Structure 1
Amino acid sequence: MTSQSDDFNYPFPPKHHKGYWITAPMTYEEAVQAFHAQSEKDQMMMKNPVGNSPAKTESHDFPFPPKRSMFWENDTSYDVGYDEAVNLFSGQDPTKQSMMANPLMSQAEQGLADRQQEVRDRILQTKEERLSNDTWLPVQAEYPVLIYETQRQMNDESAPDMLFGDESKQKIQNYGYNQPFRGYYSEREGYHMPGEDQFTLSVQEHLSRMRSLASAFSWTGVTKDVYDEMVDKFEENQGGHFTSVLLDEALKEHSTTKVFHNKLKEIISNHLFKNQYSLNESILNESSTELSDSNSGVSLPKFNEDIDIYNGTVLCVHDVWAVKVYADKLEYLNNKIRGTLRYEIQDHFGLDSPDVNHPSPFGNWLNKYELSKGFRSWYILQHYANYAFRPFFTDINFMLELR
C-alpha cells in the first residue's frame, strides 16, 4: 500500500490547509483512510471521498471558538483545550453563564470586561430613568376637536361654480374679450365673423374637447390621469363626490400644506400655553384670526407651483373651497406638543362666470380660460340650459402629525 503521508497527491488539500479541514465533513487522517479504502479504479480516477460524506454539525453556545477552530491549534495564550474550556464555563455560577463570561480570560481581562459591562448597564439605567421621567401628558379636551374651519362651508351646492343649467345662450355669448363663445372676432373687419355654433355641438364633442385639456395641463407625474377620471364622473351627470388617494397624497406633501400646518402648530402651541394645556373653543377664533392676518397669516393649502400646471393638479383642484382641521389627539411635555391633525378639504369640479369672462385684453393669457375650446365646452356643458351637466364636490382627506 502506498505510504499515507502529506506528500501523497490526494484529491483533497494537504493537512496544513486548515481553512478547508475546519468545514470539511471529516478530518485529514479520516480522508486519507477513506481514499485508500476505495477501489483501485476509484483511486486511479482520484475520486475525492471527502465530498461523499455528510457534513459534520456542531452545536456551539460558548464564548470561545468552536472545537474545530484553528484557535485551539495556533493560539498559545491558554493552557487548556476545548473540552477543558467547556468544563470551566459550565462550572461558573449561572449569572456569569447567562452573561457569556469567558473563563479563559485572565482576572485582569475579566475585570475589564466586567467594568465595561457595568458602564453599559449604568448608561442603560440612566436612559430608562430619563424616559420614565419624560412622560407625555394628555391635553385636556373632548376629542375630536375642531381646530380650524373656513367661513365657506362644505357641501355648498349654492356656490357659483356648483350651479348648472342656469344660463341662456345669449348670456354666455357675451362673456370674454372678443366674445369667443360667439365665434371669432376679426380685427381687420372689426366685428364677429361667422363660425361654428358651439351651442349645437354634440355632448360627445364637448366632452372630447374637455378631455383635450389634459394634453396641455395633465401630462406628467403620478396625478396626470386623475383629470380623465374626473371627466368620466362629469360625463355620468350624477353630481355627488369624488375622491382620489393620489390627490390626497399630493396635497398632503405640498409645500403650501407644510407652511399652513407649521403655522397651525404655532397657533395651537400658544393656545395650550395660555390655557394650562387644555384645549377650549376659543382655538377656532384664534386660528381663524391669525391665519387670515394680512401680515402673519398664510394661505390655504392649494396647488400653485409651476409643476402643478402640468401634472393635472391645477386642472383638477385650483383653489380649495372649504377646509376643516380636527385634532384627534394631543399631548404635551414641558413646552413641546405632539399629536395628530385630520385635514378635510373640499373643492368643486365646476366653473363659474369669472373663470371665462375676462373683458380686458391685458394680463396673463393662460388665465383667460375662455380662449380654450376645452374650457368653453366645459362651461357650456355645465351652465347652458340645454345641456345642464352637474358639477361635483372633490374631497381631499389626510392626516398630519404634530411633532
Structure 2
Amino acid sequence: MSNAVFPATVFTTQRCFNDLSTDDMRYGDMPEDRLKREFGLNYISNVVDPYTLTRLTAFDNPQSRFAGTYGGIHRGAKLSIQQCAQLLFEEMQVTSLPFSFIGPHRHLINQMLSNFQSSRGVDFHNPQLDIAYRDKLHSDYAVKKTISIMQETIGSFIDYTSRGYPQERLGDLTSAIKLSVLPKFDSLILDKINGMGITIHDVYATKIDILRLDVNNYGWKASVRFTGQDHFGLDVSDIRKQKFYQFQFFRIWFVLQRFNKFSFRPFLTTMQAVIDIKGNR
C-alpha cells in the first residue's frame, strides 16, 4: 500500500473555474422594453431615469410627497450615458451601506464597484477577501463544515506505520468532502451587514489542495489550500427574487450590467486561504 504524494488536489466542484458562459456573466443583452415588461424594472433610481437619461427632481421621486405633481413629466436636465452611469454608481455606493456597515471587510464592496465601473471584466482579488475567506472556513457556520469533515476522514485513515495517507483512500476523502458544507457567505445575520453577503454570498467554484502532510508517532498535521471563485454579476433568476428586487442597490446593478445602453461587465472574484488541520493519534 503506497502513500499519497502531496501537493495533491483532493476536491473540485462540478462547477468550473473561469466559467464565463453563465447568465450572470452576460452584459448589455437587454433592451428597455424587456427590462420593464419581464422584470418590472420601471423605477430604478431616486437620482436619474436611466431610460430617458434624465436627472430626476423631488417631483419625480416616488418617495417624495411631491411625486406626480407634473403628471410624470421629468423636469430634470438631460444627461449623457456616462453622466447617468456615474450617478447610478454613486447611488449604488450609498444604497450598499445597509449591507456593509460593520466589520473589517465592509469596504470591499466599494472596491468591487470600482472594478465593475471600469467595465473591463478584470478578475478581482484582494488580501482582505482572502482574510474573510479564511475566517469563514474557521467559523462554526455548519455542523458539517469542510474542515471538520476533512479532519475526521484524514484521521481515520492515517497510516502511522508508513507515516502517510494511503493513496487508495484519497477517494474516501473526496467523497467525504462532497457531503460537507462548503464555505459561503450566507450567515443569517453577520454576512447581511458586513459586506460579504452582497460582495460574494455564494461561492461558485471551490478547489481544495493538500499541500503537505506530516505524520509522527503522536499525530498528524496537514497544510490545506482552499481556493474559491465567485461571479460579481446578476442573472435573471436573481432579479426575479423578491429578496433582491426589493432593494434599489440590486435594481441599479442589474440595469447597469444588462441594459444595452450601459453594458458594464461583470467579473470573477477569486479568494484563497491556507489553513492547518491536525489530529492526535
Scaled by the length of structure 2, the TM-score of the pair is 0.76
Q: How does 1:277-356 map to 2 (within 5 A)?
A: 277-280=164-167, 283=170, 285-292=171-178, 297-305=179-187, 306-334=189-217, 336-356=219-239
Report what 2:51 is aligned to. Answer: 199
Q: Are the aligned partners of 2:10 and 2:174 in contact in 1 as well (CA < 8 Å)? A: no
The higher relative CO (CA closer than 8 Å, separation ≥ 6) is in 2
Looking at structure 2, the residues matched to 163 and 280 of structure 1 have their Cα atoms a distance apart, in angstroms, of: 42
**Which residue, out of 135, 155, 166, partners 2:29?**
166
1:402–1:228 Cα change, 3 Å: same
Structure 2 runs not aligned, ≥5 long: 54-83
Report what 2:20 is aligned to. Answer: 157
Q: How does 1:137-286 map to 2 (within 5 A)?
A: 140-176=3-39, 179=40, 181-183=41-43, 197-201=49-53, 202-254=84-136, 255=139, 256=141, 259-272=145-158, 277-280=164-167, 283=170, 285-286=171-172
Pairing 1:389–2:264 present: yes
Q: Are the aligned partners of 1:331 and 1:337 in contact in 2 as well (CA < 8 Å)? A: yes
Q: Percent identity?
A: 27
Aligned-partner residue type, residue 42 of structure 2? R
Q: Are the aligned partners of 2:160 and 2:215 in contact in 1 as well (CA < 8 Å)? A: no
| Higher share of residues assigned helix | 1
**Which residue, out of 251, 255, 261, partners 1:380?**
255
Q: List per-residue Cα deviations over 1:107-162 (Å, max 9, x = no partner).
A: xxxxxxxxxxxxxxxxxxxxxxxxxxxxxxxx943331001111111111112211
260-269 vs 221-230, greater mean Cα deviation: 260-269
SS of the aligned residue for 1:265 comes to helix
Q: Are the aligned partners of 1:199 and 1:380 in contact in 2 as well (CA < 8 Å)? A: no
Q: Are the aligned partners of 1:175 and 1:356 in contact in 2 as well (CA < 8 Å)? A: no
How many residues are aligned here?
Answer: 238
1:287–1:140 Cα change, 3 Å: closer
1:384–1:275 Cα change, 3 Å: farther
SS of the aligned residue for 2:14 comes to coil
Q: How does 1:21-100 map to 2 (within 5 A)?
A: none
SS of the aligned residue for 2:151 comes to helix
Looking at structure 2, the residues matched to 170 and 331 of structure 1 have their Cα atoms a distance apart, in angstroms, of: 61
Aligned-partner residue type, residue 343 of structure 1? F
SS of the aligned residue for 1:355 comes to helix
Structure 1 runs not aligned, ≥5 long: 1-138, 185-195, 359-364
Aligned-partner residue type, residue 23 of structure 2? P
Rg larger for: 1
Q: Are the aligned partners of 2:160 and 2:216 in contact in 1 as well (CA < 8 Å)? A: no
> RMSD over aligned Cα, in angstroms?
2.7
Scaled by the length of structure 1, the TM-score of the pair is 0.54
Report what 2:80 is aligned to. Answer: none
